[in-house]
């Protein structure tokens, strides 16, 4: 069985591969490939987002880098000593993550930020392999319901037993899954997720990592 956590040449989702080709024609300088996980490969803290954003990770090649969704995330990572800087500008800047890694449930840019079920399922094998590599007593932070359900699926758990809820913690054996609303522009602009709420999530993650 393939144990890879990522394949830069993967084109298993025809709709997404075709969309990346179209976007590359429109924006030749954009990265437009599956976006690799970023951060400390030995860490016990894995953050799972949804998918690359058009002008963010899809442009720069690093998760949550270069668009609005990453602003609050990297501020929090810095505030809680997981990141060397409070912003992520480009894949070749000198930002370092310590005891933390970031990945996406779907590694390729989906049209309208909306992957279909078959695409989430196709990419789930990479996430499953990534979760299997986590050390004992790890903490997984799921940003949004799709990421939450992708983690449950990747661990072969029953969705009905673990419902997404902001700030909920689910004991999944080797890992504890912590849920948060996604730090998207929509959620932060509407104050569904405020800075204070997100800081509370990171404080909760720190506490879980110490227990």
Least CB distance from residue 190 to ligand SF4, whole Å? 28
**Spatial distance between the Cα atoms of 129 and 3, rounded to a whole number of angstroms:** 6
Least CB distance from residue 106 to ligand SF4, whole Å? 5
C-beta separation of 23 from 34 below 8 A: no
Contact region with ligand SF4 (CB under 6 A), list: 4-12, 87-95, 142-150, 189-197: 4-12
- 123 in contact with ligand SF4 (CB under 6 A): yes
Least CB distance from residue 34 to ligand SF4, whole Å? 4
- 13 in contact with ligand SF4 (CB under 6 A): yes
Contact region with ligand SF4 (CB under 6 A), list: 8-16, 52-60, 160-168, 196-204: 8-16
**Spatial distance between the Cα atoms of 39 and 114, rounded to a whole number of angstroms:** 25
Q: Which is nearer to ligand SF4, 16 or 131 (CB)?
A: 16
- 34 in contact with ligand SF4 (CB under 6 A): yes
Contact region with ligand SF4 (CB under 6 A), list: 37-45, 84-92, 116-124, 154-162: 116-124
DSSP secondary structure string for all residues of 174-187: SEEEEEE----HHH
Residues in a beta bridge with 45: 139
91-94, long-range: CB < 8 A, 24+ apart: 91/31, 91/60, 91/61, 91/62, 91/65
**Spatial distance between the Cα atoms of 118 and 33, rounded to a whole number of angstroms:** 18
- Contact positions toward ligand SF4, by CB under 6 A? 10-13, 16-17, 34, 106-108, 119, 122-123
């Amino acid at each position: 069985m393939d144990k890879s956590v990522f394949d830069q040449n993967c084109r298993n989702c025809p709709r997404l591969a075709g969309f990346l080709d179209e976007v590359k024609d429109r924006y030749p300088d954009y990265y437009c490939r599956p976006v690799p996980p970023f951060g400390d490969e030995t860490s016990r803290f894995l953050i799972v987002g949804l998918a690359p954003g058009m002008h963010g990770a899809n442009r720069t090649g690093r998760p949550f880098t270069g668009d609005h969704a990453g602003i609050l995330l990297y501020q929090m990572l810095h505030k809680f000593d997981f990141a060397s800087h409070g912003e992520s500008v480009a894949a070749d800047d000198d930002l370092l993550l310590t005891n933390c890694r970031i990945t996406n449930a779907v590694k390729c840019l989906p049209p309208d930020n909306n992957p279909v079920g078959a695409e989430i399922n196709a990419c789930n094998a990479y996430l499953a392999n990534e979760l299997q590599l986590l050390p004992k007593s790890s903490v997984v932070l799921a940003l949004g319901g799709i990421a939450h359900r992708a983690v449950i699926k990747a661990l072969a758990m029953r969705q009905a037993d673990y419902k997404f809820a902001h700030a909920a913690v689910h004991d999944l054996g080797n890992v504890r899954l912590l849920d948060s609303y996604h730090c998207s522009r929509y959620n932060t602009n509407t104050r569904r997720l405020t800075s204070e709420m997100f800081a509370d999530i990171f404080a909760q993650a720190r506490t879980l990592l110490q227990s």
